[in-house]
Amino acid sequence: MHKHPHPDFGVYLHIPFCEKKCIYCDFYSLEKMEHMDIFISQIIKEIKYTSQQSQQYFRPATSIFFGGGTPSLLSATQMQKIINEIHTSIAIHPNAEWTMECNPGTITLDSLKAYKDLGINRLSFGIQSFHQKELDFLHRIHSPMESIEAVSLARQAGFDNINIDLIFALPDQQMNSWKKTLEMAIELQTEHISAYSLIFEEKTPLYTMLQKGLVKPSEEEKDADMYAYTIETLTSAGYSQYEVSNFAKDGYSCVHNRTYWQAKEYIAFGPSAHGFLHNKRYWNYRNLIRYLEAVEKTGKGEANVEELNAYNRLFETVFLSFRAEGLNINEINTEFNIDILSILEKEFALWKQEKLIELHHSIISLTAKGYALCDELSVRIIASLEAFLGQEWDNQGYQEDESEEEDTIVYTLPILDV
């Protein structure tokens, strides 16, 4: 496990372009690339401005994460411009993790080598499935062969820290099909595997298909069987589960993800990006043009900001860390002056007896059996905390701007020199 002598501090950059939208995806991205160059210059401005304004709250960054969208649509030269600005504006920890999300359909050996030369030291490939039919259904742009090739090219380029993302519980997916995908994934010997159950997110084409009765979600029982199979198979193959959907070989859990799950601070750039700094959550416009204009006018792309009170911080810390590496009883006690062990004494005793949780060095973490019930257990914990504190968790404020539909709002770029 990567250890740092100080708390983790993350930097997230959202690259809002994709060659083609996948039907299940609710991340903000556009198929039109026409504003890519101006986006690069504005995100650079945003990094510069934010750093000047908030430098006093920064710590050396332990992770830098290029997500999206499809960061691998950026050329090495475009990546270099952004990375140069990061180095100029933000102090970086010498062992920082530099991740870049890549679509297997958008890379070459040369591009991967160039990213590596720029300092990227971790790649995350959206592979999802090793069946062409399933990839076609999801509207992915790559084939299973291209995915295998992508990992092999990444190895040739010298990457020794690679994640692959997979999705299970597709409509009509049979267990055997998922088993085959997992088998292939394990054969690739990547350091990290994320395996998500398909979610029907509102406002996606998949959701519309569901409403029209064109697809049916996988039955709950099948979904649970696939999940249990995933945990069993990946843990026997040498991966440790360190969050509901995330598995890593020893020493390769994702520093950036852990920063989120431990409710540590991170700054964020690019449209729709969310950050957490100095006890404030903020989120950027989920619309490229609005974002570009906001940066031009104000130096940042912020649509809204919310200050967290101590209760909300506590709820978030408990909720996020329970799903990941566990509740750190001592840390919670020190930070919030609250003895969670005694508040939840009854629940914890029962769950321990049922082998859903375990207690190690003052950390309460989920067992494999417990992960399968994580949602229900989290709800119970939050409810008990709310009852004890006489406070409800107000997690409604943390909503994105709803008026951000790129296709329905026509913006021009009057103030920008396009």
| In the complex, least distance from residue 208 CB atom to ligand SF4, rounded to whole angstroms | 15
CB of 24 to ligand SF4, least distance (A): 7
Classify 112 as helix, strand or coil: helix
Instruction: Report the C-alpha gap between 378 and 85 in whole angstroms.
Output: 40
Interaction of residue 105 with ligand SF4, rule CB under 6 A: no
User: Per CB under 6 A, which region of 17-25, 274-282, 312-320, 333-341 contacts ligand SF4?
Assistant: 17-25
The residues, any chain, with a CB within 8 Å of residue 223's CB and separated by 6 or more, are 168, 169, 197
Enter the DSSP assignment of 360. Answer: E
Q: Scan residues 121-160 and list those touching ligand SF4 (CB under 6 A).
A: 126
Strand order in the sheet with 246-248: 240-243, 246-248, 192-197, 162-168, 122-128, 92-102, 61-68, 10-15, 266-269, 274-277, 280-284, 302-307
The reply to whether 23 sits near ligand SF4 by the rule CB under 6 A is no
Return d(Cα 138, Cα 23) in angstroms, integer: 6
Q: Beta strands 274-277 and 280-284: pairing type?
A: antiparallel
**Residue with Cβ nearer ligand SF4 (18 or 357):** 18
| Burial environment of residue 294 by CB neighbours within 10 A (0 to 12, 13 to 18, 19 or more) | buried
C-alpha neighbours within 13 Å on the C-beta side of residue 397: 15
Nearer to ligand SF4, 22 or 318 (CB): 22
Q: Is 200 in the site for ligand SF4 (CB under 6 A)?
A: no
In the list 2, 4, 21, 155, the residue contacting ligand SF4 (rule: CB under 6 A) is 21
Q: Which is nearer to ligand SF4, 140 or 281 (CB)?
A: 140
Of 148 and 228, which has the nearer Cβ to ligand SF4? 148
Cis (ω within 30 of 0) for the bond into 69? Answer: yes
Candidates 24-32, 144-152, 245-253, 389-397; binding stretch for ligand SF4 (CB under 6 A): 24-32
Contact 58, 92 (CB under 8 A): no
Residue in 42, 103, 147, 321 binding ligand SF4, rule: CB under 6 A: 103
User: What type of residue is 132?
Assistant: Q
Q: Name the one range near ligand SF4 by CB under 6 A: 63-71, 117-125, 142-150, 372-380.
A: 63-71
Q: For residues 69 and 144, which CB has a smaller minimum distance to ligand SF4 in the complex?
A: 69
Nearer to ligand SF4, 70 or 147 (CB): 70
**Residues within the interface to ligand SF4 (CB under 6 A):** 18, 21-22, 25, 27, 29, 68-70, 103, 126
